[in-house]
Structure 1
Amino acid sequence: MSDDVADDVTPGRVRGGQMTDAEIDAYLETQGTGVLSLADGNRAYAVPISFGYESGRAVFAYWQFRPDSTKLAFTETTERACLAVYDFNAQTDWRSVLAFGPLRELGTDEWAEVGELMDENAWSPDLTGVGRRQLSIVGFEMPIEEVTGLKREPDAASE
């Protein structure tokens, strides 16, 4: 990943280009939701997901409402997952990060650390009335092997 930022997309109005490693880390630390893309052969499966992050890895808590979870089945066959995280305020003010890596199921002895990371920036749904009696949670870690980020932001001088 390059630390260079591309020239203005629209001279005098918008700066854009690649995000630096430091910008990507800072961005992922402040976000808590994204889309996790999984694969099984030539079939893809993408799910909205909340995550915890620290430099070099993302952690997830899979909320399972039934034992035959599609998400879990795809996770087991995915060699390399993709976490897409993005936000936008306007056409000239947005960020987008793609992080890639394998998924590893976490043991119960690792849950305390995962809980801390999830508490720092993950979002958890209100499960009232959703059948909590059938709910189970499985933790996963994605060591990030490759990451790329793009941004576009207003030029402060033109605002």
Structure 2
Amino acid sequence: MADNVDPERVRGGEMTDAEIDAFLREQGTGVLALADGGRAYAVPISFGYEAGRAVFAYWQFGADSEKIAYSEATERACLAVYETNTQFDWQSVLAFGPLEELTPKEWTDVGELMDDNAWSPDLSDVGKRRLSIVGYEMDIESVTGLQARRPE
């Protein structure tokens, strides 16, 4: 933190479970952190959410996918979701849990959940590349949240 910033003015407080749940329902993007042994991989990602789980769509542009390889190797992933309006008005949530690939039937069933708050990129310029979608679910085992909601 810069020397000229008073830590008392920017310090956050813990979010309640209800605040965390509402925040994750309102958001649609975050960063999914994965690991394979001592190697880390972070993916900007859109997600669908309902209490206790998050679902993700991996856009795959060919046979090899680092996201899938890291997802399979990761024992416990971390989804980081945050919103920063000012240094005095922000929220940050970390959700932790294992990932599991969804079957085509399960993927069809969670489509509505993705529609609620996730977004999909416009891939119209992708052209003739091989494109497929793979669905994953995070069973959220633990979650933490901090926020500062102070007027400037």
TM (norm. structure 2) is 0.91
- Alignment partner for residue 136 of structure 1, among 122, 125, 132? 132
The aligned counterpart of 1:5 is: none
Whether 1:105 aligns to 2:101 is: yes
**1:1-159 correspondence runs (5 A):** 9-10=8-9, 16-131=12-127, 133-155=129-151
Q: Which amino acid aligns with 1:67?
A: A
The aligned counterpart of 1:3 is: none
Whole-angstrom distance in 2 between the partners of 1:110 and 1:21: 27
Whole-angstrom distance in 1 between the partners of 2:50 and 2:128: 29
Is the contact between residue 15 and residue 154 of structure 1 (CA under 8 Å) also seen in structure 2? no
Return the offset for 1:131. 3.3
Is the contact between residue 15 and residue 153 of structure 1 (CA under 8 Å) also seen in structure 2? no
Q: Residue 88 of structure 1: SS of its match in structure 2? A: strand
Gaps of 5+ in 2: 1-7
Aligned residues: 146
Is the contact between residue 82 and residue 93 of structure 2 (CA under 8 Å) also seen in structure 1? yes
Q: Which amino acid aligns with 1:104?
A: E
Q: Which amino acid aligns with 1:131?
A: G
The aligned counterpart of 2:5 is: none
Whole-angstrom distance in 2 between the partners of 1:131 and 1:45: 27
Whole-angstrom distance in 2 between the partners of 1:145 and 1:138: 22
Q: Which amino acid aligns with 2:136?
A: F
Is the contact between residue 99 and residue 148 of structure 1 (CA under 8 Å) also seen in structure 2? yes
Q: Which of 72-81 and 104-113 deviates more?
A: 104-113
Root-mean-square deviation (CA, aligned residues, Å) is 1.7
Q: Residue 110 of structure 2: SS of its match in structure 1? A: helix
Percent identity of the aligned residues?
72
Whole-angstrom distance in 1 between the partners of 2:74 and 2:109: 24
